[in-house]
Structure 1
Amino acid sequence: MNKLIKTSIASILITNMLSIAHADDGTSTELDAIEVISQKFKEKDEAYKKTGAVSIRDEINKSSKDLDAIIRSTPGTFTQMNKAAGAVSVNIRGATGLGRVNTMIDGVTQTFYSSGGDTGTKGGGAGSQFGAAIDPLFLTSVEINRGSFKSSSNGNALMGSANFKTIGVDDVLRLDKNIGGIIKYSNGDNDLKPEYMAAVAGKRIFDYGGSLGFLYGYSRKTITQDYLVGGGETHQEISKKNTEIISEEYRKAYDDEPPYDIRPFDPEKVKQKPQSHLVKLEYVDDYSTLGLQYRKLTNHLAGRSIKSDTKQINYNLIIPNNDFINLNLLYSQNKNSQNYDIGSTIIDRKIQKPLQGRNKSISFDINNSFKFNLPFETNFTMTSGMNWLKNDYSRNRYPDELRIFKVCEDDPECVTSLGELNPKGKTNLYTKVNASLPTNSFFPQGDQKNRTIYFNNKFEWKMFTLDYNVNLVKSKNKGQILTSVDQEYHKIQSKMDRLYDMYDDLSPTEQAKEFAQKILNEANKLSKDLDAFDKKYEWDFDDEEFKKRPTFVNYKQVKNTFKNYSVTLTANMNNYFTPFISYSKTHRAPTVQEMFFSSLADAGVNLNLKPETARTQQIGFNGFMEGAITDADKIGYKVTAYKTRIDDFIHNVYSYKSIRGINPIHGSQIVPALQHRNHDQLVTMKGFEAEFSYDMGRFFANLSYARQRTNQPASYSDIPRTASNADEEQAEAQSFGLTKVTILPNSYGSLELGTRLFDNKVTIGAIAKYYGKSKRTKFDSIEVCRGGGRVYFDKVRNRPVCPGKKDISDRIGGIAEYEEIDSQPMVYDFYVMYEPTENLMLKLNVDNITDVRYANPLDANNDSASQYSKLIHADKNAEGDYYYTKEFQNNFARGRTFKFSLSYKF
């Protein structure tokens, strides 16, 4: 534990011992605005009394909806859907991923970097995304905070946070029992498979009032994707019809069969059977609350086995009837591994021997709350604390078989890119040189450390409440940079040249002489290595020594320090109308994957990435009323308008870089490569969010709506790629599914109407879901200039130039361009629930009851290359342009689906 951590802990503990008053910062309330299951508004009442853009969905484990649908029922919140991920990825206002959204489970940041293999042929390239690996059957609620923050959860969270809560002992036990269990089961048609969860729990209550509880839960399910879409066809059947159309045109132009499989994914490759275990030990008395937790998840999906192990300790210490101490401690250790099958493919390259990607994270948090009663009827509450997160990514070996360039001869398993075999059976020099260079595109290695000191302050004076929260974050990224012998030699030689020039006419110091000698020794060693492998410029194709050229690993680290703050002013006028206004400044440090990703040597590495900075303004109001229309009804509502401005937004481009040492003839080489950069223009997000709920017992209604406008840029890796690299120019742009489009639909919402009958034992409800226009990337990219403007071709100079420039020195490179997908048709779901006793629940769902054909926004396969076709010219030698046609869109959601579920407590 370093000096900063020790000092922070000491200062917090000393502060707590000095006449500190205890403060209760409020407990989390739970809300389910979409699916009401005989709730009595105990927690839901309080949810609408909380100011700010905060939403809660509870009873997740009781819902028959999948987790994506539950989260998407929240305004301003969405999910990235990826069938190959095996994890849920929360999207807040168009931002997702580690640092943009702090996704937590029981208060612990989730760092799982899911990187799957190919999920199809033409359109099924590898996909990667950050997410939380958890079974929804073990979740009770999720609290989503957008735009502002409290506590330590937003030290590195640009747009907000989502905290999932797992089930506890009291969620399993019946109210009148100290030992018992719960069984849940569901099954359905349209390729739904059985899933079940069983949990047992026990509690011992001691004479002094304390209790000790134990819980063990196990879940298992089968998830398949060979379903019927709206209209009663499978993806296979739709693709077959579309292929026949494309094939006819292709045969006319090329007199051959097209090499296309236009399914958005292969159902066999995204079939999964996740299993989960949950163990908890809970101790509670008047002074202490101690929780021990262990979670394990195993799965096999998209060509690899996934394993996640989590150990966690939570401790709370309070002193009843005084305000001196309310101390909280949290420690968690999480290990994730992905073991890739031998023979599975990633961007159409086969894994030839065991390959493993690993992620290990350690979290520690300590904080204390206290309260002061100040003059003028003012109450001051403060929570001070420290949070420490270490996040490490590694792999068991360098995956040589995943290199973009390969030297091949009569090898059907080898794909030659940007270099054809010549008639004499030798590969050209350019391909040979590049084939010797390492890549760091698959599971970049490195670690990230975030140390956060935070203070949450709350002032209450009469009808006004001021929340001012601030934290200081020190972030450090350390990662690997891969280079070749040639590159290292030329780097050192350049240093020597500069050193000689510097001391040409001066007498060097002894220190300078030693430094020069050190560089010279390094140069001599590398020169010997270079001579051993480069005895001639033109290598023979069968020269095995060429394939053994060594790779050098350099470790670099980058440090950042930034301060986040959030201010919210609330006027508690009455329960019917509570307006608020807030302003926040938040940051997000670059990830290891962004900073150290490189598809060719160190061409894509960017150690100069700046943290993203967001400034968010919010204004809104909320209210809660009882007895508004009848004596027993209740109304809750919340409305928020916001504007976020982001500086240094990180995205990736297809750029060009000069590297010395990769071409033994010319000395340097201009190579294209993907690189993450800070956007040089301000990114703006504007939106409106609203929630409404009404319940009069016999009848209830829930409404959710969001609307947003943004100018955030696309990343080049958003562009759909073919897994088989049908076109050689795509080879260097392969990104292992590094990103996908994250922009929310321009508007979306849901409305639920329902009734309760027969003493609330029967509930009948219907949900209508609406998705407005959304974005996807075009297959083609555009070239842009630094400072804005597109590259255009100057006919006079006969070359591409930037506006107002004479050359292309200011060219950034290729970026993706968005296109718009039309609004989707309304989707209607229907459900009937029967609770004959308090411990038994039976439920029948009919999703997409009208069987409409629609596509889910932000589905990774919406941007697969299978959604595009190549325009065929009459001239066989003419290159065609890629275009998207709606009649060939085939990545649709499930059609009409019946699902039965039951839950029984014993």
Structure 2
Amino acid sequence: MRNEAGAIDIGIRGLQGEGRVPVFIDGSLQSTHTSRGYQGTSDRTYIDADLISRVAVQKGAAVNASPFASGAIGGVVNIKTLTVDDIVNPGEQSGFLIKLRSYNNNRKPDIPDDYEQQNYYQLTQKPRSRQFNNGSATAAFGFRDDFFDAVIAYSERATGNYYAGKHGFTRYHEPVVTPNHEVVNTSFQSQSFLAKMGLHTNNGQDFEFAYRNHRQQAGEVLAAYWYQNNNDIDFNPLPEGVESMPQWALGSAIVNSYSASYAYKPYDNDLVNLNIGLWLTDANLRQYNGLWGIGVNAQQYLHAYSNDRKGVSVYNESALQRLPLVLRYGVALQDERLKPEQDGIIRFSDIAVTSRNGKRSEKSAFINGELDLSPVTVNIGFNLHGAKITDFQSNESLNYRPKLDMLSELNYHLTPATALFFKASRTYRMPSLYETTVSNEVFSYNPYNRLSPEISLQREIGLKTKQQDLLLPEDKLDLSLSYFRNKVNGFISGGVLDKTPNIAEWMDNYTFINYDKLDLSGFELSANYDAALFYTHVSATLYTDTQVCSHYQAQRANTDNCNSLGFAWGLTPSRIPAKKNLVVNVGKKFMAGDLDTGVRYKYHSAKTNPSDWLIGTGASPIIDIPSGYQLDLYGQYRVNKNATLFAAVNNLTNRYDIQPGSVISMPEPGRTVTLGIDVRF
């Protein structure tokens, strides 16, 4: 989903948000719950891309994903920030990394201070392709020896509003943004700092410490303000060829993240592999996504709040000598606090404060085992977890009693390189703090409509293989093909219910509800092939069956209990993926690997939302999204061991495309050229 205000919000196999796919950065969890009005909610994680070393993705509920993965029914994303090896050349003790990028197809918006004038911002046409506005710069230092390593890095990034593509525009019904025009509220600027230190003893003990600070300003707009003006601020007709849309001031986010870990693995004792982790994140946000504030236009939506988290885990891994069994067991605790800052209290009406004000505590105890009975390996995991939530606005507490997750995975090796696998799990997601605290935002928790935990039932069966010398000498193939089914009973999302005694006569009961179920199933292919002649990466997902069921929503709309689109008076349509999704990357390396060039093709099939989706509200959602594709080119040339040049052209054919998960008709960026250089010394 684009325009997450400089953050990431990842979905896996149709599951996304509110802890379903947590993103861990160096072991710490930093996500902020953000309202987007009729566009639903976001589970945002803030990090600069240039500070990322590597990313590991586990799809579906997984054994050994993370001590803090309770509720991760969609999967887990683990991000490792820059390491010494990313900065220092092999064989050297210390070094610097400088990374520079610049790109075209964007322009920094000139945003008026006056909130009335912001609503009548005049769009600009696409600048010439040779105009490179904004970019990013990163500087990092690394040091290592046998007992100590350290990383210090700083990154700045700035981009203006991007410009839409051109070709394919006529396929859309009444799109708001015209071809090659500025897409408002998409600008972004940030400053990020990273410091890491590791201490390594000669008796198997390791200490790691990390601190990360991220500051940013980013554009954002609510769905009710996604429209074109017919006149200027004085109600005069716009000149021919001039277009105008609301362009709000930028919201801000300041995030601090601290983490520390201790590991002890004695060389002579396979029963001890102890890990202790501690982390803390605090986020302070001032963004335009509130409701019923004091002021006009964007000003009435500005509010300030904080979202703080902390966690601690202790676990051990024991390899038994008499059995081919490895056990991993431990406990984890995490707390979360959402509260309005002073500005978020005094600016709003006395109906209710927009920002949630509550806390949530979750405790878990887990044990996982891996049994190697060659040619069969079995992984089984159990996780007992519960949560307690206190809402300081309603003065109510919710106590979700512990539930037991059960996860299993079986691998049968047909050969040393090929295996059949089967995964099955029953896991629970306790309602999040955001879903269980009241506010006056569009979708809010209603104490009269209690929420139950989600129950996720997952099955996956497939084949995976790693081959060498298959088609060409010294080639390598890594392939996985599987069928999956994700069934979530009691799926939580926004919807509308009958009024309750606490609802004003003129208001509707837009709240979070338990849908009967969300059922997603399909096939998934992942293939990586690498040879001297060329390399290719293929990722494809085909959804064969999609169902959303709710007898409450069906009664209100006088429709069937289940459908494949989602219900018109809720947010489930935005969570239904396109039926077909494909990414193909083909490349070749020249000059002994110094030159790497390739092309990337991305495709999604068409998607239809309910014809009366959010009708009668201030939003104008997009109903029909045609199929779309994008071609990207990239290349990098290693000049020597210290310098690498980089170039990329994203959306080569300048397609006008809107992503299937969009609520409003916000197009993707048009053709964009990026140039860069990496220097190590």
Scaled by the length of structure 2, the TM-score of the pair is 0.80
8 Å CA contact retained: 1:281, 1:293: yes
* Residue identity opposite 2:454 in structure 1: E
Which of 335, 352, 357 is equivalent to 1:390? 335
Q: Which residue of 1 aligns with 2:447?
A: 605
Q: Which residue of 2 aligns with 1:230?
A: 166
8 Å CA contact retained: 1:313, 1:332: yes
Q: Which residue of 2 aligns with 1:787?
A: none
Q: Distance in 2 between matches of 1:298 and 1:743?
A: 32
Once the two structures are superposed, the pairs formed by residues 141-152 of structure 1 within 5 Å of their partners are 141-151=54-64, 152=67
* Residue identity opposite 1:444 in structure 2: R
* Residue identity opposite 2:84 in structure 1: V
Say whether residues 1:280 and 2:199 are aligned partners. Answer: no
Q: Which residue of 2 aligns with 1:581?
A: 422
Which of 257, 262, 268 is equivalent to 1:315? 262
Q: Distance in 2 between matches of 1:672 and 1:834?
A: 59
Q: Which residue of 1 aligns with 2:103?
A: 188
Residues 661 and 475 (structure 1), Cα distance of their counterparts in 2 relative to 1, 3 Å cut: closer
Offset at residue 653 of structure 1 (A): 2.0
Residues 342 and 893 (structure 1), Cα distance of their counterparts in 2 relative to 1, 3 Å cut: closer
8 Å CA contact retained: 2:540, 2:583: yes
Deviations 1:72-115 (A, max 9, x none): xxxxxxxx32x253310010111111221122112222332245
Q: Distance in 2 between matches of 1:563 and 1:99?
A: 17
Say whether residues 1:764 and 2:611 are aligned partners. Answer: no
Residues 312 and 738 (structure 1), Cα distance of their counterparts in 2 relative to 1, 3 Å cut: farther
Residues 690 and 242 (structure 1), Cα distance of their counterparts in 2 relative to 1, 3 Å cut: closer
Offset at residue 128 of structure 1 (A): 4.2
8 Å CA contact retained: 2:339, 2:355: yes
Offset at residue 834 of structure 1 (A): 1.0
Once the two structures are superposed, the pairs formed by residues 477-488 of structure 1 within 5 Å of their partners are 477-482=389-394
Give the match's secondary structure for 2:421. Answer: strand
Say whether residues 1:111 and 2:31 are aligned partners. Answer: yes
Q: Distance in 2 between matches of 1:327 and 1:478?
A: 33
* Residue identity opposite 1:285 in structure 2: T
* Residue identity opposite 1:900 in structure 2: L
Q: Which residue of 1 aligns with 2:369?
A: 457
Q: Distance in 1 between matches of 2:334 and 2:374?
A: 39
* Residue identity opposite 1:557 in structure 2: L
Q: Which residue of 2 aligns with 1:177?
A: 92
Residues 635 and 469 (structure 1), Cα distance of their counterparts in 2 relative to 1, 3 Å cut: same
Which of 132, 141, 144 is equivalent to 1:200? 141
Moved more, 572-581 or 769-778: 769-778
Q: Which residue of 2 aligns with 1:525?
A: none
8 Å CA contact retained: 1:349, 1:402: no
Say whether residues 1:301 and 2:218 are aligned partners. Answer: yes
Which of 313, 319, 322 is equivalent to 1:365? 313
Once the two structures are superposed, the pairs formed by residues 703-722 of structure 1 within 5 Å of their partners are 703-708=538-543, 709-712=545-548
Once the two structures are superposed, the pairs formed by residues 395-434 of structure 1 within 5 Å of their partners are 395-397=340-342, 399=345, 402-403=348-349
Offset at residue 704 of structure 1 (A): 0.9
Once the two structures are superposed, the pairs formed by residues 213-362 of structure 1 within 5 Å of their partners are 213-231=149-167, 269-286=185-202, 287-302=204-219, 303-340=250-287, 351=299, 355-362=303-310
Which of 56, 73, 83 is equivalent to 1:158? 73
Moved more, 328-337 or 593-602: 593-602
Say whether residues 1:827 and 2:664 are aligned partners. Answer: no
Give the match's secondary structure for 1:273. Answer: strand
Q: Distance in 2 between matches of 1:455 and 1:273?
A: 43
Residues 596 and 715 (structure 1), Cα distance of their counterparts in 2 relative to 1, 3 Å cut: farther
* Residue identity opposite 2:52 in structure 1: L
Moved more, 341-350 or 649-658: 341-350
Scaled by the length of structure 1, the TM-score of the pair is 0.61
Aligned length: 600
Q: Which residue of 1 aligns with 2:117?
A: none
Residues 174 and 402 (structure 1), Cα distance of their counterparts in 2 relative to 1, 3 Å cut: same
Residues 572 and 285 (structure 1), Cα distance of their counterparts in 2 relative to 1, 3 Å cut: farther
Offset at residue 341 of structure 1 (A): 8.3
Offset at residue 157 of structure 1 (A): 1.3
Residues 455 and 344 (structure 1), Cα distance of their counterparts in 2 relative to 1, 3 Å cut: closer
What are structure 1's unaligned runs of at least 5 residues?
Answer: 1-79, 119-124, 244-260, 404-436, 483-553, 663-668, 718-734, 784-812, 868-890
Offset at residue 139 of structure 1 (A): 0.8
Residues 683 and 590 (structure 1), Cα distance of their counterparts in 2 relative to 1, 3 Å cut: same
Once the two structures are superposed, the pairs formed by residues 41-56 of structure 1 within 5 Å of their partners are none
Q: Which residue of 1 aligns with 2:472?
A: 630
8 Å CA contact retained: 1:304, 1:341: yes
Give the match's secondary structure for 2:392. Answer: strand
* Residue identity opposite 1:611 in structure 2: P
Residues 154 and 265 (structure 1), Cα distance of their counterparts in 2 relative to 1, 3 Å cut: farther
Give the match's secondary structure for 1:563. Answer: strand
Q: Which residue of 2 aligns with 1:546?
A: none
Q: Percent sequence identity over matched residues?
A: 19
Once the two structures are superposed, the pairs formed by residues 35-184 of structure 1 within 5 Å of their partners are 80-81=1-2, 83-115=3-35, 128-151=41-64, 152-184=67-99
**Greater fraction of residues in helix:** 1
Residues 231 and 647 (structure 1), Cα distance of their counterparts in 2 relative to 1, 3 Å cut: closer
Q: Distance in 2 between matches of 1:703 and 1:353?
A: 43
Offset at residue 267 of structure 1 (A): 5.1
Q: Which residue of 1 aligns with 2:497?
A: 655
RMSD of the alignment, in Å? 3.6
Residues 670 and 127 (structure 1), Cα distance of their counterparts in 2 relative to 1, 3 Å cut: closer
8 Å CA contact retained: 1:178, 1:202: yes
* Residue identity opposite 1:677 in structure 2: I
Q: Distance in 2 between matches of 1:716 and 1:105?
A: 39
8 Å CA contact retained: 1:153, 1:161: no
Deviations 1:181-223 (A, max 9, x none): 10111112212521111101122x3xxxx42112110000112
Q: Distance in 2 between matches of 1:100 and 1:599?
A: 24
Name which structure has the greater RCO, CA cutoff 8 Å, separation 6+.
Answer: 1
Q: Distance in 2 between matches of 1:838 and 1:745?
A: 43
* Residue identity opposite 1:570 in structure 2: N
Offset at residue 749 of structure 1 (A): 0.9
Offset at residue 707 of structure 1 (A): 1.3
Moved more, 449-458 or 705-714: 705-714
Q: Distance in 2 between matches of 1:180 and 1:157?
A: 38
Q: Distance in 2 between matches of 1:821 and 1:394?
A: 37
Q: Distance in 2 between matches of 1:195 and 1:215?
A: 19
Give the match's secondary structure for 1:274. Answer: strand
Residues 658 and 316 (structure 1), Cα distance of their counterparts in 2 relative to 1, 3 Å cut: closer
8 Å CA contact retained: 1:651, 1:677: yes
Deviations 1:636-663 (A, max 9, x none): 101111112211111222233242797x
Once the two structures are superposed, the pairs formed by residues 728-807 of structure 1 within 5 Å of their partners are 741-776=574-609, 778=611, 780-781=613-614
Q: Distance in 2 between matches of 1:115 and 1:298?
A: 20
Residues 752 and 585 (structure 1), Cα distance of their counterparts in 2 relative to 1, 3 Å cut: same
Q: Distance in 1 between matches of 2:512 and 2:602?
A: 36
Offset at residue 342 of structure 1 (A): 13
Offset at residue 334 of structure 1 (A): 0.3
Give the match's secondary structure for 1:562. Answer: strand
8 Å CA contact retained: 1:777, 1:817: no
Q: Which residue of 1 aligns with 2:230?
A: none
* Residue identity opposite 2:627 in structure 1: S
Residues 353 and 781 (structure 1), Cα distance of their counterparts in 2 relative to 1, 3 Å cut: closer
